Amino acid sequence: MTRAYAGAARNTKNAVESMGKILKKEKKVSPARTMNNSRELVSTSLQAQLKGKKKELNFYTSVLHERPVAAELKKSLRSLLEKTRKVAGAEEYSLFLSDEPLFEKIHLRATKKIKRVSFNKKRGISGWVMDNGLPLKVNEVSRDKRFSGKADAIAGLKIASLICAPLIIKDRTVGVLRLANKKGGGPFTDDDMNLLMSAVNYAGLLVERAFLYEKLKNDELTNLFNARHMNHVLEMEVERALRYNAMFSIVFMDIDNFKTINDRYGHLVGSRALIEVAWLLRDNLRRVDIIARYGGDEFVIILPETPHDESFSCAERLRKTIEKNKFLKQEGISVRLTASLGVASFPDDAETKEELLTMADKAMYRGKFSTKNIVFSAAKKLPVTK
């Protein structure tokens, strides 16, 4: 069990035990104050405690049963932090994130409440938490010298009190989660701080899951999608096409005679050439297109909502672009590469994901075994070009 889940589980257990103690007190108090077979109400303080523990229990239960969705990190974080704010009875929350490259890798963009900040020393209470990696509760910020009206600001809110907790990933403090202003003007309590610590631990779990998700779906060399993720996307595209009577196409591409690059210049230079091919594909395709390194010097491109003739034209454009480009110029080599490509469309050329890949692969190999540097179509009605 991860630290975040373990912490949430412990807090759930504590909340349940606290509720049990409160209910026992209720049973002891009520009979003593019963007159004429009528029971008096439990004391206001006990009712308040019971209500608070019920809120905590609901929070921990919802966190434990809510699956982290790595692909929707921002949505998951907003849901978690909004629940935390409500249970703690705070007016607002905010999450400050450092300039760690980690957040770029997981595509976590800034919002009004989730901000990227360049932390440095003496940058308010938030900066102190970042520097020290410790939680902090300040119920009167006006009396705390560390408070900075600029560094600790939350848009549209005059801050009276703050509780902050460090966001720690792999033993590094990479952000600060904050709750501001207890509703009703009261002070934040130790229970509020425990709640915040549980929330920030779980936020750390979400970030780690997102990072792992990105790592697992990307090819380590080119940073394109890997074959596993490509197959997942392909399954979804087939389902979507069947459901909405839509179509899409794929392009199977292989670099011609790539073994000669490795044999002549070495595998490190060959790897650099593959990275440059990946860059070229990214620069010449749409953002909605899925580009994957299938293995070795083979690439697969998924073209959503694209009929066969347009996909064929796209493949031909890529072939010409690769043919004209000079690769490995920074290595002082400057070589030319060519590629053979095969195009297949769903549902025109295939009825399943596996059949579609096979058709595109066979079309590509028709080119490899003929002239190379060519585009072949799985659809016989379309001509072959060079």
Could you say which of 50, 65, 80 is where a domain stops?
A: 65
In the structure encoding, which two tokens stand for residue 138, read together? 């300040």
- Is the separation of the CB atoms in 374 and 363 below 8 Å? no
Q: Residues for the chain: how many in total?
A: 386
Contacts of 48 by beta carbon, 8 Å cutoff, 6+ apart: none
Q: Has residue 386 been placed in a domain?
A: no
Predicted local confidence at residue 39, as pLDDT: 47
The distance between the two most distant Cα atoms of the chain, rounded to a whole number of Å, is 103
Single residue among 217, 249, 264 that ends a domain in this structure:
217
pLDDT the model gives residue 309: 93
Q: Residues in the chain with pLDDT < 50?
A: 1-2, 4-5, 8, 12, 15-16, 19, 21-23, 25-27, 29-30, 33-39, 41-42, 64, 381-384
Based on the fold, state whether residues 5 and 101 are members of the same structural domain. Answer: no
Note whether 60 and 80 are same-domain residues.
no
The verdict on 16 and 148 lying in the same domain is: no
Task: Looking at the structure, tell me whether residues 59 and 186 fall in a common domain.
Answer: no
d(CA 341, CA 252): 6
Residue 234 lies in a domain: yes
- Flag whether 263 is in a domain: yes
Both tokens assigned to 63: 């966190």
Residue 274 in domain = yes
Looking at the structure of the chain, the number of domains it has is 3
267 shares its domain with 207:
no
For residue 383, what pLDDT is reported? 44
Asked which of 13, 44, 65 is the last residue of a domain, the reply is: 65
CA distance 215 to 220: 8
Q: In this predicted structure, what is the pLDDT of residue 253?
A: 97
Measured CA to CA, the distance from residue 273 to residue 28 in angstroms comes to 78
Output helix, strand, coil percentages for the chain, rounded to the nearest 5. Answer: 50, 20, 30
What would the pLDDT profile of 67-108 be if each residue is shown by its tens digit?
555 557 888 888 889 999 998 999 999 999 887 777 777 777
Question: Is 232 among the domain residues?
Answer: yes
Residues 369, 258 share a domain: yes
Is residue 253 within 8 Å of 318, Cβ to Cβ?
yes
CB 346 within 8 A of CB 249: yes
d(CA 235, CA 250): 12
Q: Are residues 373 and 231 in the same domain?
A: yes
Range of the domain at 8: 1-65
Amino acid, single-letter form, for residue 293: R
- Both 208 and 235 in one domain: the answer is no
Supply φ then ψ for residue 237, to 5 degrees: -65, -40
> Are residues 261 and 352 both part of a single domain?
yes
Q: Given this model, what pLDDT does residue 165 score?
A: 95
C-beta separation of 167 from 119 below 8 A: no
- 151 within 8 A of 126, measured Cβ to Cβ: yes
My answer on whether 241 and 170 are in the same domain is: no
The whole-angstrom separation of Cα 67 and Cα 88 is: 22
pLDDT at residue 292 in the model: 95
In a domain, 331, yes or no: yes
Asked if 7 and 197 touch (Cβ cutoff 8 Å), the reply is yes
User: Residue 79 belongs to what H/E stretch?
Assistant: helix 73-88
Does 373 lie in the same domain as 233? yes
pLDDT at 11: 52
Q: Which residues of 200-226 are buried (b: 16+ CB within 10 A; e: fewer)?
A: bbbbbbbbbbbbebbeebbbeebebbb
- CA 64 – CA 58 distance, rounded (Å): 10
State the CATH number of the domain containing residue 133.
3.30.450.40
In a domain? residue 289: yes
Same domain, 239 and 134: no
Q: What is the pLDDT of residue 322?
A: 97
Three-class DSSP category at 326 = strand
Cis status of the peptide bond prior to 383, with omega within 30 of 0:
no
In whole angstroms, what is the distance from residue 365 CA to residue 359 CA? 10
Give the CATH number, domain containing residue 266.
3.30.70.270
d(CA 268, CA 270): 5
Per-residue confidence (pLDDT) for residue 38, from 0 to 100: 45
140 domain-assigned? yes
- Are the C-beta atoms of residues 309 and 256 closer than 8 Å to each other? no
